[in-house]
Structure 1
Amino acid sequence: MVPPLDQDVSGLHQCRVVVQDGVDLALDDVGVVQRRGSVHVGRGFGLRRREVDNSQDGAAVGSTEIVSARRDDESTADASPAAVVPRPEHVISVNVSTAVRLATVVALIAAVLTAGGLWLSARGELTRLRASAADEQRFEQIATEYALGASNINYQDVNAWVAKLKANTTPQLTAKFDATAPKLQEILVPLKWTSTAAPIAAEVMSTTNGIDKVNVFLTVNSTSAQTPEGSQMTITYSVTVDRNNDWKITDVGGLDSALPSK
């Protein structure tokens, strides 16, 4: 139903008013009214309008139809589906002091991790050096014990001395001493050779794949039928030890210097 032109329609949620061409539309504080050829729309209302042809129902051609007038603060359930309600924006704010503390913590963690890595590396290197030093000490000890046994000779017990020559040696070196023992006995017994030795030093000279060559320095005091008053000399043994072969001695050099000349 179209309200009369002189009726106040300010309380209507929706109205249908036919307005002739040329009629002004203006905003008013009270509502939608028809006064002196004008349509006044109260504050808070919205208007939708379109041009229509009302020639069939008696209205003038080219009239304007107000199809709705609705308050902006009332329900908009029947509003156009094209209306989009803006979504609230999510803003994350970080306090400056919090950011500084976070950066400090990250820096501290990085420093701790770096220090830990360096410590582990240094610890590994120290362990390797200690193991290497322990191996080197064992090489020197084995070589020194062998050299002392080879230099302490008593012509009255040549077999015991030959046993010391073969001690902790490889089968190949043992066989070599077994072959030379009779000749050595022929030299020592007639000369009544005796000798005692004391260690001076030992040093690893080279290392190759677990095989070390060690120089052992000894002071040797000897007596014989030719020199009953005795004599002293410094001799050097070169002893090769194979760690991969149960720390066996594979070769001995310098043994001749501890024996009397033929």
Structure 2
Amino acid sequence: MPSTSALPGGRVGASPSWKKSIGNSFSERVILMSSQSVLSEDAAVDDDSTETEADWNKRQQRNKHSSVVRAAINHGRNAGDSAIKLKTIAAGLLCAVMVAAIAVLGWQLHGKATDLGHVNAAAAERMHAEQVALDYATGAADMNFQDLATWRGRLVKGTTPELSNRLTQAASSMEQIIMPLQWSSTAKPIAAKVRSESNGIYQIDCFVSVLTKNSQAPRGIQSTATYSLSVDSRNAWIITDIGGIDAALGAKPGK
């Protein structure tokens, strides 16, 4: 048992050795408490480290998930952009194909229209050549011994100068028969047909119905006169040659 000593005022106090023991015990408690505090702090630090690592793992997982989501979004966005680009390209190609198709169709239609125009123009020229020839043949076959000047005018109308001279000479020879027989004839056109064409020159056969009257056949003789004409479309549709002019006279007297 620790020793005691009398303190002033009659109080009893602990001896110095007891005080030392108490001091040592207190120091040990302080040290123990400090150690426990340090351990607690270390534990707290360890807990904090553990929580921080867990949080880090969570963050990593979240980041990884976010990265996957972002990648998926970016992939979808890129896919969408690619789809839009493909649609744009496809639309552009379709437009180009349509434009090309329209151009080809237009060219074909233009070509067909041009060909049709040439065909129509050629047909119109053939018809005009036939009309020129038929009008001439009808006029040449229509005569009256009382008005031979008019007949001679129709005979040389629309012919070349060379052909005109030939026809004038032929008319002079025919007048020697026409006047004594009091020859007259009326003509009606039947048809004209282009036989051939070369370098704008048409060979045309004309058919004219002729009713011929004279002193030997007062009732008249019906016949068909055939003319073969050459018409030059390059030279104002002038008549360059003619054959069968004698047919305008119909049947010979006495036959």
State TM-score, norm by structure 1: 0.62
Which has more strand, going by share of residues? 1
Letter in 1 for 2:114: G
Distance 1:230 1:261 in 2: 12
Quote the residue 2:252 is aligned against: 261
Q: Which secondary structure does the structure 1 equivalent of 2:186 belong to?
A: strand
The separation in 1 between residues aligned to 2:159 and 2:125, in whole angstroms, is 18
Alignment correspondent of 2:70: none
Structure 2 CA distance for aligned equivalents of residues 242 and 191 of structure 1: 36
What is the 5 A alignment of 1:121-160? 121-160=111-150
The alignment yields a C-alpha RMSD, in angstroms, of 1.7
Residue segments in structure 1 that go unaligned for 5+ positions in a row: 1-91
Superposed, 1:101-250 pairs within 5 Å as 101-250=91-240
Q: Hey, what does 2:63 align to over in structure 1? A: none
Q: Once the two structures are superposed, what CA deviation does each residue of 1:145-188 show, in whole Å capped at 9, x if it has no partner?
A: 10011010101112221111111110001111222332111011
Partner of 1:119: helix, strand, or coil?
A: helix
Aligned partner of residue 213 in structure 1, secondary structure: strand
The range that moved more, 143-152 or 154-163, is: 154-163
**In the TM superposition, what is the alpha-carbon distance from 1:197 to its structure 2 partner?**
1.1
Letter in 1 for 2:236: D
Matches within 5 A, 1:53-132: 93=82, 95-132=85-122
Q: 2:127 is aligned with what amino acid? A: Q
Secondary structure of 1:229's counterpart equals: strand
- What amino acid does structure 2 have at the position aligned with 1:174? S
Partners in 2 of 1:255 and 1:99 — Cα distance? 77
Which has the higher relative contact order, 1 or 2, with Cα contacts under 8 A spaced 6 or more apart? Answer: 2
Q: d(CA) in 1 for partners of 2:87 and 2:234? A: 63
Q: Distance in 1 between matches of 2:93 and 2:172?
A: 83
Cα offset for 1:261? 2.9
Distance in 1 (CA, whole Å) between partners of 2:99 and 2:183 is 74
Give the match for residue 11 of structure 1. none
Would you tell me which structure has more helix in proportion to its own residues?
2
Q: What code does the residue aligned with 1:200 have?
A: I
Instruction: Give 3-state SS (helix, strand or coil) of 2:173's partner.
Output: helix
1:141 CA displacement: 1.2
User: What SS does structure 1 have at the residue aligned with 2:217?
Assistant: coil
Q: Tell me how far 1:190 sits from its aligned partner.
A: 1.1
Larger radius of gyration: 2
The 8 Å contact of residues 142 and 248 in structure 2, kept in 1 or not, is answered as no
